[in-house]
Amino acid sequence: MVNLRKLVLLTAALAITANVFAVESLEDVMKRRGLTEKNVLAAAKTYVPTGGRDEYIAFSSGGQSGHVLVYGIPSMRILKYIAVFTPEPWQGYGFDDESKAVLAEGKIQGKDINYGDTHHPALSETDGKYDGKFLFINDKANPRIAVIDLHDFETKQIVVNPVFKSSHGGAFVTENTEYIIEAAQYPAPFENEYVPLEKFNERYRGGMTYWKFDRKIGRIDASKSFTVMAPPYSQDLSDFGKGPSSGWSFTNSFCSERYVGGIMQNKPPFEAGCSAKDTDFLHVVNWKKAAELVAAGKATKINGHNVITIETAVKEGIIFLIPEPKSPHGVDVSPDGKYLIVSGKLDSHASVFSFAKIQAAIQSGSFEGKDNYGIPIIKMQDALHLQVQVGLGPLHTQYDSKKCVVYTSIYVDSQVTKWDYCEGKVLDKISIHYNIGHLMTMQGDSVEPEGKYLVALNKLAIDRFNPVGPLHPQNHQLIDISGDKMELLYDMPLPLGEPHYAVAINAKTLKPGVRYRSGWNSRTDKKSKFKTRAGREKIVRTPGKVEVFGTTIRSHITPEIIEVTEGDEVELHFTNLERAEDETHGFAMYGQNVNLSLEPGKTVSTTFIADKAGVYPYYCTEFCSALHLEMEGYLLVKPKDYNDDTKKSSVGATYTKADYEKQVKENIATQAIIDQVVGIILGQNYKDFPPVVALVEDAVDQLGFAKEAKAKADAAAAKEDWQNATLWAGQWWQYQVKAADIGLRAKTYLEQHGAVKLDKK
Ligand code: CUK
Ligand code: CUA
């Protein structure tokens, strides 16, 4: 009693002292930290209070990391790295058999490729609006496209371009996500064979691949995909038409000189030869007609893939070229589909092309000539709407919600230029730190741009952050574009590869799940054939092979002991029985490169050869409950000729009747507390709060387990087996503790969310 009173007094005293120091005002803090009013305003515009949510979710390429980064806007808080082309242990990606199968789809000519150079993420669209269902991203180094399902933010599929040897102009989608475009970058022979550079003009090729997306199954259908072959011009970025330009695609190029360098051969480098001309070619392709040609059997098969040759494309009138200045990079179609804006890295202009004018030129057949491959060239002046002096080295353009307003990244000048593409005038400029590549406005490449914020994806960080060695973080700068003047709000360091492009979606459109259906293979999106239910865990032995069908739940792994013989192939399948939100378990094992992630409901597998006799502890890697450290087990690999003659001896401590009775007494007291909490919850309108309903379900599960453990304790006690009676009584208490913990969480939630007492009838 004295102790308790002392404690109360001490706490009160502490509270008083703390208050004396806690009276710092906003002005005090500003002074102490050297913040200006502008800083505080910027902070207020980006700060999301604890527990709050962001208005937009950005998906950024993770550059060479091969991942996709997910962060919130305006807080710029990183929410997730989605593993795509590269293994990522936390998510078990590239460690469990299910995700290994996805990575294996990305093999290039039989070789494992365990990284990607991701550039352009694209969100799926319905009628040109983001629908929040899928995300696609390309790999420039190994021409591949990945499909990510936004139901669980997991990579589901990787397709390898069957004819390109690099790619860049992807991923971009059609208005209804029928196709995903991927344009080549560095020309190469379509066939997988050696062709000398002397044959560059004849045998090296570029092109645009149109990947058919099957929305019903959420996967790309390679058999219905096709490529329109193009000359070896180093195709670059692409975009799809929409509205009036629907059915067409646009792809830049930057080396229509078809120059091949060779510094060691005493030739000027690529950079000189590829920038010699003042213009390159914008490729204008009628993809809808191309798809019809493929359906009509007019494609040629190369490496088993449908290819429309340049000859066929010209004959059928589906490809045209327009000169574009100079060393062009970005091409971005306006939300209404009437214009496309192209910028040149060595130019100071942005060029606005009119789709109506392009069509008029095609209809009238008035071309300035043909290129060496017979493709008609539309006169630049015939297709141009206007050109605007935006700054030196313009790259990419994004659209505002305000009509005719766009933002262009200016690489050399390190600026963003806001301008009007209808009238052709510059509206504002802001300096960036440093050398901006892409930029992104909210939903800026959909038909419904929302403006508000702009993120500058900068190439260099230099002195913006605390130094961390020669390799600097990347810098995404958040800019407020809601007013007439752009205002810099925030610098966010990104320590994971060089992001190129990013897309941002209104957070309301995303509806991700919180758990899988029980026994789910998340990579195929089907029930796993290895699904294991509670109580049905088993170890199946066949000659040379041991298969384990196990489960995980707070806080034990079943089985806890796995015995195999040296040389056995071991297949582990685990199902996470949890239904509770965020109750993920991990599974790591000594010395076998085994690391799994088991989100609620998920089933994952791992296969390895137990080729060395020994003892291999395993454990859960997520701190999932108070007894998480006890979530453990042993794989025992016995030598082949092992003769087990050790006497079975008891392991660990022994327990008595008194121990058992003490535990039971504690359990009864715990139950009283649980009953009290349950009474409070049930007495309120908890059913109006779905998260609480889920918690109650979870608690009921735990109490069910407690009952089972109690029955086992009772049975052991009846046989006066005090050892097992005490241990089972302890397990019964463990389940009670979990139920109590969940109950308290539910009670707190109700308190914080204004639940009310139900009227007693
Ligand atoms: S690219 Cu890197 S800044 Cu791949 Cu779209 Cu322009
Ligand atoms: Cu499960 Cu720790």
R_g of the chain computed on alpha carbons: 31
Kindly state the greatest CA–CA separation across the chain.
101
- Reference 114, options 87, 145, 141; nearest CA is 87
C-beta 406 within 6 A of ligand 1: no
10 pLDDT higher than 80 = no
Which residues partner with 420 through β-bridges?
Answer: 405, 425
pLDDT at 303: 97
Ligand 2 pocket residue status of 68, Cβ below 6 Å: no
- What type of residue is 430? I
Cα 594 to Cα 602: distance, rounded to the nearest angstrom? 17
In this model, does residue 492 exceed pLDDT 90?
yes
Ligand 2 contacts CB of residue 628 (under 6 A) = yes
Distance CA 546, CA 559 (A): 13
Instruction: Please name which ligand lies nearest the alpha carbon of 629.
Output: 2
Asked which of 368-372, 428-432, 697-701 is least confident by mean pLDDT, the reply is 697-701
Q: pLDDT by residue (tens digit) across 149-192?
A: 999 999 999 999 999 999 999 999 999 999 999 999 999 999 99
Tokens 């060691």 belong to 264
Q: Residue 627 C-alpha to ligand 2 middle, in angstroms?
A: 8
CA 621 to ligand 2 centroid distance, Å: 6
Q: Ligand 1 in contact with 327 (CB < 6 A)? A: no
Q: Is 437 in the pocket of ligand 1 (CB under 6 A)?
A: yes
Contact 154, 146 (CB under 8 A): no
Q: Which among 649, 753, 638 is positioned nearest to 693, based on CA atoms?
A: 753
pLDDT (mean) for 284-289: 98
> Structure tokens of 314?
């010209």
710 lines ligand 1 (CB under 6 A): no
How many CB atoms neighbour CB 377 within 10 A? 16
The Cα–Cα gap between 241 and 264 comes to 43
Among all bound ligands, the one having the nearest atom to the CA of 238 is: 1
Q: What is residue 653's predicted lDDT score, i.e. its pLDDT?
A: 85
Give pLDDT, residue 4: 42
* 622 Cβ below 6 A of ligand 2: yes
Expressed in angstroms and rounded, the spacing between residue 500 Cα and the centre of ligand 1 is 5
Proximal ligand: closest to the CA of 117: 1
Q: Name which of 21-30, 57-66, 257-266, 514-523 the model is least confident about.
A: 21-30
Ligand 1: atom nearest CA of 329 is 6
Ligand 1 and 61: CB distance under 6 A: no
The answer to which of 109-113, 114-118, 623-627 has the lowest mean pLDDT is: 623-627
Ligand in nearest proximity to the CA of 622: 2
Ligand 1 lined by 254 (C-beta under 6 Å): no
Distance CA 189, CA 363 (A): 33
Cα of 611 to ligand 2 centre, how many Å? 27
| Closest atom of ligand 2 relative to the 622 alpha carbon | 2
Residues of the chain with pLDDT > 70, as a percent, come to 96
Q: Where are the beta strands (DSSP E) in 198-312?
A: 206-214, 219-230, 235-240, 248-253, 279-286, 300-302, 305-308
620 touches ligand 2 (CB under 6 Å)? yes
What mean pLDDT is predicted for residues 679-683?
Answer: 90
Q: Specify the pLDDT at position 754.
A: 86
Element (H, E) at 671: helix 657-682
CA distance 479 to 133: 27
- Name the token pair of 171: 């991923």
CA-closest residue to ligand 1 atom 1:
500
Ligand nearest to the CA of 574: 2
Residue 678 has phi, psi (to 5 degrees) of -60, -40
What rounded mean pLDDT belongs to the chain? 94
Closest listed ligand to the CA of 582:
2
CA atoms within 13 A on the CB side of 51: 3
Distance CA 616, CA 592 (A): 8
Q: How many of the other CB atoms lie within 10 Å of CB of 475?
A: 22
Helix (H, G, I), strand (E, B) or coil at 716: helix
Spatial separation of the C-alpha atoms in residues 58 and 441, rounded to whole Å: 10
Among 384, 432, 417, residue whose Cα is nearest residue 485: 417
Alpha-carbon separation of residue 730 from 296, 660, 736 (angstroms)? 72, 9, 10
H or E stretch including 10?
A: helix 2-21
**pLDDT beyond 70 at 17:** no
Q: Which atom of ligand 1 is nearest to the CA of 501?
A: 5
Q: How far is CA 232 from the centre of its chain?
A: 33
Q: Are 698 and 681 in contact (CB under 8 A)?
A: no
**Could you tell me what percent of the chain has a pLDDT over 90?**
87
CB contact at 8 A, 409 and 439: yes
Fill in the amino acid letter for 736: Q
Reduce the DSSP state of residue 666 to 3 states and report it. Answer: helix
Query: 504 forms bridges with which residues in the sheet?
Result: 58
Of the pLDDT bands very low, low, confident and very high (cuts 50, 70, 90), residue 647 is low
Name the band, by pLDDT with cuts 50, 70 and 90, for residue 649.
low
Distance, in Å, from the CA atom of 445 to the CA atom of 59, rounded to the nearest integer, reads 13
Q: Average the pLDDT over 233-245 and give the result.
A: 97
Looking at ligand 1, which residue's alpha carbon is closest to its atom 3? Answer: 437
352 lines ligand 2 (CB under 6 A): no
The single-letter code of the amino acid at 59 is F
Contacts of 407 (CB under 8 A, 6+ apart): 397, 398, 400, 416, 417, 418, 419, 439, 441, 454, 481
pLDDT the model gives residue 20: 52
Rounded Cα distance between 688 and 686, Å, is 5
| Ligand 1 geometric centre to CA of 172 (Å) | 13
Model confidence over 565-605: pLDDT tens digits? 999 999 999 999 998 999 999 999 999 999 999 999 999 99
If one counts every other C-beta atom within 10 angstroms of the C-beta of residue 541, the result is: 13
CB 122 less than 6 A from any atom of ligand 1:
no
Q: How many CA atoms does the CB half-sphere of 678 hold within 13 Å?
A: 15
> 729 and 663 in contact (C-beta within 8 Å)?
yes
- From the CB of 237, is ligand 1 less than 6 Å away? yes
Q: What is the structure's pLDDT at 2?
A: 40
Residues 6 or more apart in contact with residue 657 via CB below 8 angstroms? 720, 722
How far does residue 438's CA lie from ligand 1's centre (Å)? Answer: 6
**Mean pLDDT calculated for residue range 635-663:** 84
Which of 364-378, 504-518, 742-756 comes out lowest in average pLDDT?
742-756
Is residue 556 in contact with ligand 2, taking CB distance under 6 Å? no
Look at residue 648 in the predicted model and tell me its pLDDT: 60
Residue nearest to atom 4 of ligand 1 (CA): 119
Judge whether 702 and 735 are in contact, CB under 8 Å: yes
Ligand 2 center–CA 48 separation, angstroms:
30
CA of 252 to the centre of ligand 1 (A): 12
Q: Name residue 492's amino acid.
A: M
Pairing verdict, β 632-638 and 167-173:
unpaired
DSSP 516: P
Q: How far is CA 132 from CA 53, 151, 440, 512, in A?
A: 17, 9, 17, 9
Q: Is 578 in the pocket of ligand 2 (CB under 6 A)?
A: no
Most informative mutation of 139, 181, 237, 412 for ligand 1 (most atoms within 8 A of CB): 237
Q: In angstroms, what is the span from residue 119 Cα to ligand 1's centroid?
A: 6
- Shortest-distance Cα residue to atom 2 of ligand 1: 500
What is the per-residue pLDDT for 643?
80
Structure confidence at residue 637 (pLDDT): 97
C-alpha atoms less than 13 angstroms from C-alpha of 16 in its C-beta half-sphere? 6
Contact 473, 446 (CB under 8 A): no
Q: Please give the distance, rounded to the nearest whole angstrom, from the Cα atom of residue 248 to the centre of ligand 1.
A: 22
Residue 619: nearest ligand to its CA?
Answer: 2
Of ligand 2's listed atoms, the one at least distance from the Cα of 619 is: 2
Span 294-342, pLDDT tens digits: 999 999 999 999 999 999 999 999 999 999 998 899 899 999 999 999 9
Query: Looking at the predicted structure, is the pLDDT value of residue 14 above 70?
Result: no
Rounded distance between C-alpha atoms, residue 502 and residue 137, angstroms:
10
Distance CA 314, CA 328 (A): 24
Cα 166-168-172 angle, rounded to 5 deg: 135
Helix (H) or strand (E) holding 323: strand 319-325
Cα–Cα distances (Å) from 574 to 548, 579, 600, in that order, read 8, 15, 11
